[in-house]
A and B are shown apart, each in its own frame.
Chain A
Amino acid sequence: MRSISRRELLGLGLGAGAAAVLAGCATPGTTSVNAQPVVPAARSGEKVTLTYWAWLKDLQKVADVWNARHPDVQVEVAWIPGGNAGGYQKLYSALAAGGGPDLAQVEMRTVPEFMLVNGLVDLTRYGVEEHAEKFDQTLWSQVSFAGGVYGIPQDSGPTGMYYRPDLFEQVGAEVPTTWAEWAEVAPAFRDAGIMIDAFPLSDTSVFTAHAMQAGATWLRTAEDGWEIDMASEVTLDVARFFDKAIDDGVVSTSLNPYSPGWFAAAADDKIASLVGASWGDALLAGVSGAEGKWRVAPAPRWDHGYGSSFIGGSTSAVLANSKHPQEAMEFAVWLNTDPEGIDAMIEHSGIGWSPARDYIGQARQQPSEFFGGQRYNTEVFQPATQEQNPDWQWWPITQQTFNILADGFRTKATGGTLVDAVVAAEQRTIEVFRNKGLTIRKAEG
Chain B
Amino acid sequence: MATSTTTRPAAATTAGDRRPRRRSTAVTRAPWILVAPFLALFVLTFVLPILVAIGQSFTTVTREGLFGEEGVTSSFAWFENYRLALEDGNFVASIGRMLLFGVVQVPVMIIAATVLALLLESASARWPGLFRAAYFLPYGIPGVLATILWSFLYVPGLSPIIDVTSMLFGFEPDFLGAGTVLWSIANIVTWTYAGYNMLIIVAQLKAIPPELYESARVDGAGPWRTAWSIQLPLIRPALVLTTVFSIIGTLQLFAEPQLLQTVSPAIDSQYTPNLSAYTTAFAYNDYNVAAAQSVLIALVAFALSFLFLRLTNRSSR
A contact residues vs B (CB 8 Å cutoff): 3, 9, 13, 17-18, 20-22, 24-32, 34, 84, 88-89, 92-93, 96, 112-113, 115-118, 145-146, 200-202, 221, 225-226, 253-254, 256, 259-261, 263-265, 268, 396-397, 399-400, 403, 406-407, 410, 413-414, 432, 435-438
A32 engages B69 (CB within 8 Å): yes
In angstroms, Cα B51 to Cα A25, docked, is 10
State whether the Cβ of B62 lies closer than 8 Å to any Cβ in chain A.
yes
Q: Give the distance to chain B from A180, nearest Cβ to Cβ, in Å.
A: 27
Q: What are 11 of the A-B contact pairs (CB < 8 Å)?
A: A13-B43, A25-B74, A30-B73, A112-B67, A146-B65, A260-B263, A403-B270, A437-B62, A437-B63, A438-B66, A438-B68
Which chain A residues border B73 with CB–CB below 8 Å?
A: 30
Question: Which one, A29, A115, A259, A435, contacts B262 given CB within 8 A?
Answer: A259
B residues 53-73 touching A (CB-CB < 8 Å):
55-56, 59, 61-69, 72-73
Which chain B residues border A264 with CB–CB below 8 Å?
A: 155-158
Question: Which one, B25, B39, B61, B178, contacts A414 given CB within 8 A?
Answer: B178
B263 engages A435 (CB within 8 Å): no
State whether the Cβ of B164 lies closer than 8 Å to any Cβ in chain A.
no
- 6 new A-B contacts, CB < 8 A, other than A116-B68, A254-B174, are A26-B74, A29-B285, A260-B152, A407-B269, A410-B265, A437-B62
Q: Give the distance to chain A from B51, nearest Cβ to Cβ, in Å.
A: 5
Given known A-B contacts A27-B56, A146-B66, A254-B265, A260 and B43 have beta carbons under 8 A apart: no
Q: Give the distance to chain B from A64, nearest Cβ to Cβ, in Å.
A: 31
Q: Give the distance to chain A from B104, nearest Cβ to Cβ, in Å.
A: 21
CB-based closest 5 A-B pairs: A264-B157, A437-B62, A89-B282, A202-B265, A30-B72
State whether the Cβ of B90 lies closer than 8 Å to any Cβ in chain A.
yes
B284 engages A397 (CB within 8 Å): yes
State whether the Cβ of B293 lies closer than 8 Å to any Cβ in chain A.
no
State whether the Cβ of B145 lies closer than 8 Å to any Cβ in chain A.
no
B265 engages A200 (CB within 8 Å): yes
Q: Give the distance to chain A from B85, nearest Cβ to Cβ, in Å.
A: 11
Given known A-B contacts A21-B52, A25-B52, A438 and B63 have beta carbons under 8 A apart: yes
Which chain B residues border A88 with CB–CB below 8 Å?
A: 282-283
B47 engages A31 (CB within 8 Å): no
A256 engages B265 (CB within 8 Å): yes
In angstroms, Cα B178 to Cα A413, docked, is 8
Given known A-B contacts A27-B288, A112-B67, A116-B285, A403 and B155 have beta carbons under 8 A apart: no
State whether the Cβ of B23 lies closer than 8 Å to any Cβ in chain A.
no
State whether the Cβ of B214 lies closer than 8 Å to any Cβ in chain A.
no
B262 engages A145 (CB within 8 Å): no
Q: Which residue of B lies closest to A114 (CB)?
A: B285
Which chain A residues border B279 with CB–CB below 8 Å?
A: 403
B residues 148-206 touching A (CB-CB < 8 Å):
151-152, 155-158, 174, 176-178
Question: Which one, B66, B72, B282, contacts A226 given CB within 8 A?
Answer: B66
Question: Which one, B29, B43, B156, B266, contacts A261 given CB within 8 A?
Answer: B156
A28 engages B287 (CB within 8 Å): yes
Q: Which residue of B lies closest to A20 (CB)?
A: B48
B29 engages A410 (CB within 8 Å): no
Given known A-B contacts A89-B282, A145-B67, A261-B156, A31 and B72 have beta carbons under 8 A apart: yes
Which chain A residues border B48 with CB–CB below 8 Å?
A: 17, 20-21
In angstroms, Cα B259 to Cα A259, docked, is 12
A400 engages B178 (CB within 8 Å): no
Which chain A residues border B270 with CB–CB below 8 Å?
A: 403, 407
Q: Which residue of A lies closest to B278 (CB)?
A: A89
In angstroms, Cα B52 to Cα A143, docked, is 34
B268 engages A407 (CB within 8 Å): yes
B268 engages A406 (CB within 8 Å): yes
B63 engages A436 (CB within 8 Å): yes
Given known A-B contacts A396-B67, A397-B284, A438-B66, A403 and B268 have beta carbons under 8 A apart: yes
B51 engages A17 (CB within 8 Å): yes
Which chain B residues border A259 with CB–CB below 8 Å?
A: 155, 262-263
Q: Which residue of A lies closest to B69 (CB)?
A: A32
Q: Give the distance to chain B from A440, nearest Cβ to Cβ, in Å.
A: 10
B282 engages A93 (CB within 8 Å): yes
A25 engages B268 (CB within 8 Å): no
Question: Which one, A25, A30, A406, A410, contacts B56 given CB within 8 A?
Answer: A25
Which chain B residues border A146 with CB–CB below 8 Å?
A: 65-67, 69
Given known A-B contacts A259-B263, A403-B283, A437-B62, A25 and B55 have beta carbons under 8 A apart: yes
State whether the Cβ of B84 lies closer than 8 Å to any Cβ in chain A.
yes
Which chain B residues border A84 with CB–CB below 8 Å?
A: 283
Q: Give the distance to chain A from B52, nearest Cβ to Cβ, in Å.
A: 5
In angstroms, Cα B285 to Cα A145, docked, is 20
B66 engages A221 (CB within 8 Å): yes
In angstroms, Cα B285 to Cα A410, docked, is 24
Question: Which one, A116, A201, A410, contacts B67 given CB within 8 A?
Answer: A116
In angstroms, Cα B282 to Cα A400, docked, is 11
B67 engages A403 (CB within 8 Å): no
Q: Give the distance to chain A from B18, nearest Cβ to Cβ, in Å.
A: 13
In angstroms, Cα B262 to Cα A436, docked, is 29
In angstroms, Cα B47 to Cα A325, docked, is 37
B66 engages A202 (CB within 8 Å): no
In angstroms, Cα B287 to Cα A96, docked, is 10
Which chain A residues border B63 with CB–CB below 8 Å?
A: 116, 436-438
A25 engages B59 (CB within 8 Å): yes
Which chain B residues border A20 with CB–CB below 8 Å?
A: 48
Given known A-B contacts A13-B43, A17-B47, A403-B283, A30 and B66 have beta carbons under 8 A apart: no
Give B84-100 as 1s and 0s: 1 = Cβ < 8 Å from A's Cβ atoms.
Answer: 10000010000000000
Which chain A residues border B151 with CB–CB below 8 Å?
A: 260
Which residue, of B61, B266, B270, has the highest number of chain A Cβ atoms within 10 A? B61
In angstroms, Cα B278 to Cα A84, docked, is 11
Which chain B residues border A221 with CB–CB below 8 Å?
A: 66
In angstroms, Cα B150 to Cα A377, docked, is 38
Which chain A residues border B59 with CB–CB below 8 Å?
A: 25, 27
Which chain A residues border B156 with CB–CB below 8 Å?
A: 254, 261, 264
In angstroms, Cα B269 to Cα A88, docked, is 15
Question: Which one, A27, A410, A413, contacts B61 given CB within 8 A?
Answer: A27
Question: Which one, B55, B61, B65, B158, contacts A21 given CB within 8 A?
Answer: B55
Q: Which residue of A lies closest to B62 (CB)?
A: A437
Which residue, of A21, A32, A201, A438, has the highest number of chain B Cβ atoms within 10 A? A21
